[in-house]
């Protein structure tokens, strides 16, 4: 057992002050960090409890939401404004884990959760560059059916496990941070990093920085949105492929679209190529299929996960077709 101290933060500034100490980690619901500590992958010297910080969901006059970092996943999914304005987010959260875990997990904790790659968790039996930089990646030649086909590198092919984060990436959310140098904001699509040569660096967080809130900008067509998760079983399974999308169709033409993918990359994957191709084009299966193929054109599958490419393409088309039909 790794000994550690425990402290409870009174506010964000107090949390940052305590979190600046070497070996400190912030504790929200603990649904991921406690697992990592139990497996001795994380060995913090101090836990700073931030579960008592902001649990408010602020509805702003412009239609945007400011979600406190300590808001529980269940509370966010069930919030009236989220269900009405951003159903893709509500459905994404409901697709993840069990009700008990969603009741405990915090929004910030969900954003910061680490990969569920089995090689990452196998501390004593597998090589992992994310866990021990420079050690190697056993997943490359091992069982990698669940692993990344987009944005991976020779150092790491792990995927990001969150469902909620896929929806937040599609919604152009903004991460609000507090650190020793003061507050700052980072676009959600830039917050998580691709592995490249340093898979141990997972986010843009500076040492000791704390997520204080997630901002969800207003989206005029956000009500016409959904989240679809393809997985091996109906419950408690991570995505093989998932799609979060919102679609605006005017006179049969795509006026605007937002789409992000889960289960295929080291981070929630914003489908920028697809979005650019579809704007101004007819909202039909032909153009949806062409855009989906273009988005997946740079995918680099390995022996066991090549199926994810056509699966992602089919899921994208099915989701967009459903949204286009609902909009007509």
Indicate the domain borders of the chain: 226-326
pLDDT at residue 187 greater than cutoff 70: yes
Q: List, for residues 49-72, the tens digit of each pLDDT value.
A: 999 998 999 999 999 999 999 999
Q: What residues does 246 pair with on adjacent strands?
A: 225, 258
Q: Report pLDDT for 327.
A: 66
- CATH code for 226-326? 3.30.390.50
Helix (H, G, I), strand (E, B) or coil at 219: coil
The packing angle between helices 285-295 and 308-327, to 10°, is: 140
- Reported as a pLDDT band with limits 50, 70 and 90, residue 12 is very high
Q: What is the pLDDT of residues 99-151, one digit of tens each?
A: 899 999 999 999 999 999 999 999 999 999 999 999 999 999 999 999 999 99
Residues whose CB is less than 8 angstroms from the CB of residue 67 and which lie 6 or more positions away in sequence, other chains included:
57, 58, 76, 107, 213, 214, 215, 216
pLDDT band for 220, please (50, 70, 90 cuts): very high
Q: How many CA atoms lie within 13 A of 108 on its CB side?
A: 30
**Is the Cβ–Cβ distance between 39 and 128 less than 8 Å?**
no
The pTM (predicted TM-score) of the whole model is 0.97
- Three-state DSSP class for residue 46: strand
- The per-residue pLDDT for 2 is 85
Q: Which residues pair with 189 in a beta bridge?
A: none
CB 211 within 8 A of CB 177: yes
Q: Which residue has the tokens 């969900």?
A: 110
Give percent above pLDDT 90 in the chain.
96
What pLDDT digit, counting tens, does each position of 165-179 carry? 999 999 999 999 999
Tens digit of each residue's pLDDT (9 = 90 or more) over 277-304? 999 999 999 999 999 999 999 999 999 9
According to the model, what pLDDT value does residue 98 have?
Answer: 87
Question: Which pLDDT tens digit goes with each residue over 221-267?
Answer: 999 999 999 999 988 899 999 999 999 999 999 999 999 999 999 99
> What confidence tier does 35 reach under pLDDT thresholds 50, 70, 90?
very high
Residue 275's pLDDT band, with cuts at 50, 70 and 90, is very high
Banded model confidence at residue 326, pLDDT cuts 50, 70, 90: confident
Residue 138, SS3 per DSSP: helix
pLDDT recorded at residue 235: 81
- The span from the CA of 198 to the CA of 154, in Å, is 10
Q: How confident is the model at residue 88 (pLDDT cuts 50, 70, 90)?
A: very high
Backbone angles phi, psi at 246, to 5 degrees: -135, 140
């Amino acid at each position: 057992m790794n000994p550690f101290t425990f402290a409870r933060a009174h506010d964000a500034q107090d949390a940052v002050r305590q979190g600046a100490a070497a070996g400190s980690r912030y504790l929200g619901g603990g649904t991921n960090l406690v697992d990592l500590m139990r497996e001795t992958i994380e060995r913090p010297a101090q836990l700073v409890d931030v579960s008592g910080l902001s649990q408010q969901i602020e509805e702003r006059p412009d239609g945007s939401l400011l979600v406190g970092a300590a808001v529980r996943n269940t509370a966010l999914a069930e919030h009236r404004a989220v269900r009405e304005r951003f159903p893709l987010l509500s459905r994404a959260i409901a697709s993840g884990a069990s009700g008990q875990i969603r009741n405990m997990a915090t929004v910030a904790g969900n954003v910061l959760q680490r990969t569920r790659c089995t090689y990452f968790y196998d501390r004593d039996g597998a090589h992992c560059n994310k866990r021990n930089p420079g050690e190697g990646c056993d997943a490359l030649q091992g069982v990698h059916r669940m692993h990344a086909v987009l944005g991976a590198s020779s150092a790491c092919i792990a995927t990001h496990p969150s469902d909620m984060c896929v929806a937040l990436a599609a919604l152009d959310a903004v991460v609000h941070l507090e650190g020793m140098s003061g507050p700052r904001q980072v676009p959600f699509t830039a917050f998580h990093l691709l592995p490249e040569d340093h898979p141990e660096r997972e986010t843009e967080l500076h040492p000791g920085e704390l997520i204080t809130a997630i901002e969800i900008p207003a989206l005029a067509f956000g009500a016409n949105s959904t989240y679809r998760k393809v997985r091996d079983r109906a419950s408690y399974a991570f995505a093989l492929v998932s799609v979060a999308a919102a679609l605006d169709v005017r006179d049969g033409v795509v006026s605007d679209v937002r789409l992000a993918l889960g289960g295929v990359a080291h981070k929630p994957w914003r489908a920028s190529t697809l979005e650019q191709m579809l704007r101004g084009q007819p909202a039909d299966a032909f153009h949806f299929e062409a855009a989906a193929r273009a988005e997946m054109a740079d995918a680099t599958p390995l022996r066991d996960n090549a199926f994810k490419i056509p699966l992602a393409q089919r899921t994208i088309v099915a989701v967009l077709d459903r949204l286009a039909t609902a909009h007509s």
